[in-house]
Chains A and B, each alone.
Chain A
Amino acid sequence: AQKVTQAQTEISVVEKEDVTLDCVYETRDTTYYLFWYKQPPSGELVFLIRRNSFDEQNEISGRYSWNFQKSTSSFNFTITASQVVDSAVYFCALRDNAGNNRKLIWGLGTSLAVNP
């Protein structure tokens, strides 16, 4: 069965610290997609990144970077030099390509608080 685990429920850091949000997934499929979304206090889920299972290259976008490791079924997200505006709940999600499955399977989210 598909499953996404975000073991960290809450993280609190001081501004300018680096922080890594963990995501571990389970799937039997060889073709799948992984996502990270940000949900700020306003409530709207904002897409951050999509990665397919055949692309294990790590990605960097500004202060954000993602480390995808199929060997450990992990897709971790690092924010460098965190800022107060990064405070939000971050969700990792998984989608496979089996049949007509169009659902994303979501983790429970990690609530990040960046304090000034």
Chain B
Amino acid sequence: DTGVSQDPRHKITKRGQNVTFRCDPISEHNRLYWYRQTLGQGPEFLTYFQNEAQLEKSRLLSDRFSAERPKGSFSTLEIQRTEQGDSAMYLCASSERRGARSGANVLTFGAGSRLTVL
């Protein structure tokens, strides 16, 4: 178990381009979360998957954002027509299913994907 992996770690793009981030959660975790963090702020919730089902989306997730978890394993977060305001660290986390041992509700985070939109 290598923890939660995110790729790429850093992405610099020009405004208007599309970007995609990938997250590989801990293998036995069925829950996957995407958060966004800007400088000096705590993480902001974007969306949440249980297995392949996307169960909740934040209002922060505009139409330009889409997240998928096609086989209930890895997930992708795509941002279309990027804007400078999208510059942030995009964090992925995973957790065990509710009630599963003492680890329930504990999020394990990846190192994040830092996006810079020029």
Contacts and interface: CB of A to CB of B under 8 A. Distances in A.
A106 B106 contact: no
Contacts of B112: 43-44
A32 to B, nearest CB: 10
A4 to B, nearest CB: 8
A50 B109 contact: no
B117 interface: no
A104 B111 CA distance: 18
Interface stretch (B12-20, B36-44, B63-71, B74-82): B36-44
A42 interface: yes
Contacts of A95: 105
B110 interface: yes
Nearest to A106: B42
B73 interface: no
Given A43-B112, A45-B91, A106 B43 contact: yes
A37 B105 CA distance: 13
B31 interface: yes
Contacts of B42: 4, 91, 93, 106-109
Contacts of B30: none
17 contacts: A33-B105, A37-B109, A43-B111, A44-B109, A44-B110, A45-B91, A45-B107, A45-B109, A46-B109, A47-B106, A47-B109, A95-B105, A103-B58, A104-B107, A106-B42, A106-B44, A109-B40
Interface of B: 31, 33, 40-45, 48, 55-56, 58, 89, 91, 93, 105-112, 114
